[in-house]
Chain A
Amino acid sequence: MSIASALRAAKRQSLSLIFLVIGAVLVLFTILTLINMIFRQIVLEPEGLLEAASDPEVTKSILLTLYASLLATLIAMILGTPLAYVLARHDFPGKSIVESIIDVPVIIPHSVAGIALYALFMSRSPVGKAFSSVGIIFEDGLWGIVVAMLFVSAPFYVNAAREGFQSVNPRLDRVARTLGASQWKAFYRITLPLAIRHLFSGAIMAWARGISEFGAVIMIAFYPMIAPILIFYKFTTHGLKAAQPIAVLLILICLVVFIALRTSSKYWERRK
C-alpha cells in the first residue's frame, strides 16, 4: 500500500482515529489510578497481599460483600423487572415523577440515605419490629447491609431494564398474542428473551454498585463488616499499609468477576 493511499485511508477514518485518542484518555485515567495502587502492592509488597488473602477476617468480609450485594441485586430484579416493564410499555399520569424518584438514590449523599434507612428500619421502628418478628434484623445485621445496597443500586437495574424493554418492538408482542399466546406467555417467550441482555448488564451494574457502597451501609450496619468498612477500619486503626492490600484484593476479585460476566454476556449475544 502506498503512502498516499494509507493517508487517504486515514483521512476516511479520521473520526474514528480522533475519537480513539480522546477516548483513550479516559481509559488511561482509570487504568493509571488503579494500576498505580495494584502494581505497587503486587511488585513491592506481595507478601502483604498474600497475608490479606489468607486472613479469614478479610476473606469473610469480601465474601459477605459479594453475597449481600447479590441478594440486593436479586431483590432489585424481582421488584424492578415488573416496574421497568410498566415504565417501558405504559404511559400514565405522573410517570416522569416516578422515573425521577427512581433516580433519587443516585443523587443524594449516601450518609443521608443511611440515616434515612436507619430511621425506617431500626429495631424500634414499626418496620424493624415487624421484620424482627420473623427473624429479619436490619440494625447491625446482614439485611441492613442488603437494604442499604438495594437503595443505592436499584436505580441502575431499573433504568437498564427499562431501556431493555423499550428496545423490544411492542408489535412482536402483539403478533404473538394474535397467534394465541397469553399476555404472560408473550412476555415470557418474546419480550423477556429479547431484553435479557439489558437486564443482565443492569444486574451487573447494580451488583457492582452494591459492592462499592460504604456511606449508607456504615450507618445502619457497621457490623458485620463489609469489605469497604473493613478497609476504612484498617486504615483508621493500622494505617494505609494494612488497608491497601485488602483494597487491592477486592479490586482484583471484582475485576475477575466482572470480566467473566461481561465476556459471558457477549457470548450470549453472539449465540442469539
Chain B
Amino acid sequence: MTKLSRSGLTKMQAAMIAAVVAVVAIGGFWYYVSIGSSGKIPLKVFCAGSLTLPFEDIEEQFEADHTNVDVQLEPGGSVTCVQKITDVGEECDVLASADYTLIPSMMMTPDSNYTDWYIIFAVNRMTIAYTNNSRYADEINSTNWFHILRRSDVKWGFSNPNMDPCGYRSPMVLQLAEFAYGDTMIFEDLIEANSDITVSESNGTYVIDTNMTDLNPTERLKIREKSVDLIAYVQEGGLDYAFEYSSVAKQHGLRFLELPESIDLSSETYRDTYATVKVRKTTTVSTGKPIVYGLTISNNAPNPNLAEEFVRYIVSDFGQGIFRDNAQPPVVPALTNDIDKVPESLKAYVIES
C-alpha cells in the first residue's frame, strides 16, 4: 500500500486523474470547436427507417454544398416520425414517410393541421431478405418461398404491423400470395399458426386483424419495431428470412427474392388487387396499395428555406440517381397533391397528380 496523502489519494493518483480529465476535456473541447456542430444550423429530418441510407448520401452532398448546415437525420417508424411532430410537439424541418397517406391522414386534418401539401418521390417493393447462411438459402426462389417458410426449422420475421408500415404490409403480401400461387393455406400456416393475427373474408375483401398489443408470436416468428431492426438478426444467423423492402435488403447487402408484382405492392397496375386486402391495426385500418414515399415540410419547421433546399436535392436528378442506386425506384417527375401549395422553389420539380 502506498502512503496516503491527506486528501485520501496519493499525489501520483491525483496527478493521473487530473491528467486524464484534462486530456478528455481539452480534446473534447477542441473537437467540438473545430469539427463539431457549434455555430452550424441544425436541419432536422425525420425519415422512415427505410430511407436512412439514401438520405445519408443526400446529407453528405448537402453538407458539402452548405458547410454551415448540420443535417440531423432521425430515422424511425413512419408513424412515430409523424407523432413526434403532432403529439410530442417536436420541431422538424423535413418529414419523409414510407407511407405518403400518413401525411394527409395525420398532418392535414382540421385538428392536426401541420401542412397542406406533400410530394411523392419514390416507390419500393416488398421482398424477403436472407443471407447465404439462412437455412435453405440455396433452395429458395420466388416460386417456392412459402413452402420453405413453412418448414419447422426455419425462423422468419416481419416488423410490428402496429408500429411500421412494412409490418402491416408483410401479412398483406402473404394474403395476396394465396391468390397468386393458388395456395389457400399460406396465411393460415404462416401467420395464424404462428401468432394471434387472424384474417376474415367478406365479399372478396380480406381483413387482417392485428389490433392487439401482444401479437403473441411463436419462437419461429420474430416481430420487431422496424423492419430494419430485423436485419441484425438475419445477419447474426438467429433469423433466416425477414420481410423487407427491396431497398433495405439491397442497402444492407442481403440477398433478396424478386416477388411477383401482383403481391410485392410496387406496381400501379395491381392497385385494385392490392386493395382487396386490409389490415385492422390498433389505431386505423390500412388498405393494400402500392408503396409510395411521401414528404412534406411542416408549418413549424425552424428552417423552412433550408428544408426546401434539402427537398430539392431529393427530387432532383441527383436524388433520383441515389434512389435508383439504393433499389428504391424514384417517381419521375415527383407528384404532388396540390401544385399551388407546394413551395415556389420546388414547383419546377413536381406535377400535380
Chain A residues proximal to chain B, CB less than 8 Å = 57, 115, 118-119, 122-125, 137, 139-140, 218-219, 222-225, 230, 232-233, 235-241
For B160, what are the chain A residues with a Cβ–Cβ distance below 8 Å? Answer: 233
- Check B290 for interface membership: any CB of A closer than 8 A: no
Partner-contacting stretch, out of B94-102, B121-129, B210-218, B312-320: B210-218
A140 in contact with B217 (CB, 8 Å): yes
A236 in contact with B225 (CB, 8 Å): yes
Partner-contacting stretch, out of B19-27, B143-151, B229-237, B260-268: B229-237
Closest 5 pairs between A and B when the two form their complex, measured CB to CB:
A122-B238, A239-B87, A240-B87, A237-B162, A236-B163
Docked complex: B201-247 residues within 8 A CB-CB of A: 213-217, 219, 222-225, 232-233, 236-238
Chain B, residues 87-108, CB within 8 Å of chain A (1/0): the string is 1100000000000000000000
For A115, what are the chain B residues with a Cβ–Cβ distance below 8 Å? Answer: 232, 236
B287 to chain A, nearest CB (A): 18
Bin the interface of chain B by size: 20 to 34
Q: Given A218-B225, A236-B80, A238-B283, are A223 and B216 also a contact pair (CB < 8 Å)?
A: yes
B214 in contact with A124 (CB, 8 Å): no
Chain B, residues 51-93, CB within 8 Å of chain A (1/0): the string is 0000000000000000000000000010110010011100000
Centre residue among A118, A230, A236, A238 by max chain B CB count within 10 A: A236
Cα distance A122–B223 when bound, in Å? 15
B237 to chain A, nearest CB (A): 6
Docked complex: B287-338 residues within 8 A CB-CB of A: none
Cα distance A98–B233 when bound, in Å? 30
- Check B282 for interface membership: any CB of A closer than 8 A: yes
B168 to chain A, nearest CB (A): 11
Chain B residues proximal to chain A, CB less than 8 Å = 77, 79-80, 83, 86-88, 155, 160, 162-163, 213-217, 219, 222-225, 232-233, 236-238, 281-283
In this complex, what residue of A is CB-closest to B238? A122
A122 in contact with B214 (CB, 8 Å): no
B233 in contact with A230 (CB, 8 Å): no
For B217, what are the chain A residues with a Cβ–Cβ distance below 8 Å? Answer: 140, 223
Contact of A225 among B80, B87, B213, B224 (CB under 8 A): B213
B164 to chain A, nearest CB (A): 9
A57 in contact with B213 (CB, 8 Å): yes
Q: Given A140-B219, A218-B225, are A124 and B238 also a contact pair (CB < 8 Å)?
A: yes
B349 to chain A, nearest CB (A): 32
A139 in contact with B238 (CB, 8 Å): yes
Cα distance A122–B215 when bound, in Å? 20
Cα distance A203–B77 when bound, in Å? 36
A223 in contact with B79 (CB, 8 Å): no
Q: Given A122-B238, A139-B238, A225-B213, are A239 and B83 also a contact pair (CB < 8 Å)?
A: yes
A61 to chain B, nearest CB (A): 9
A139 in contact with B219 (CB, 8 Å): yes
Cα distance A234–B83 when bound, in Å? 11
In this complex, what residue of B is CB-closest to A55? B213
Contacts beyond the supplied A122-B237, A123-B238: 19 A-B pairs with Cβ under 8 Å: A57-B213, A57-B214, A115-B232, A118-B236, A122-B233, A140-B217, A140-B222, A218-B225, A219-B232, A222-B224, A225-B213, A233-B160, A235-B83, A236-B162, A236-B163, A237-B163, A237-B281, A238-B283, A240-B87
Centre residue among A218, A232, A237 by max chain B CB count within 10 A: A237
Cα distance A113–B219 when bound, in Å? 22
For A233, what are the chain B residues with a Cβ–Cβ distance below 8 Å? Answer: 160, 162-163, 213
B255 to chain A, nearest CB (A): 19
B79 in contact with A119 (CB, 8 Å): no
Cα distance A233–B213 when bound, in Å? 8
Cα distance A222–B160 when bound, in Å? 10
B214 in contact with A223 (CB, 8 Å): yes
For B283, what are the chain A residues with a Cβ–Cβ distance below 8 Å? Answer: 237-238
In this complex, what residue of A is CB-closest to B281? A237
In this complex, what residue of B is CB-closest to A234? B213
User: 14 A-B pairs, CB-CB below 8 angstroms?
Assistant: A122-B238, A124-B238, A140-B219, A218-B225, A219-B232, A222-B224, A236-B79, A236-B80, A237-B79, A237-B162, A237-B283, A238-B282, A238-B283, A240-B88
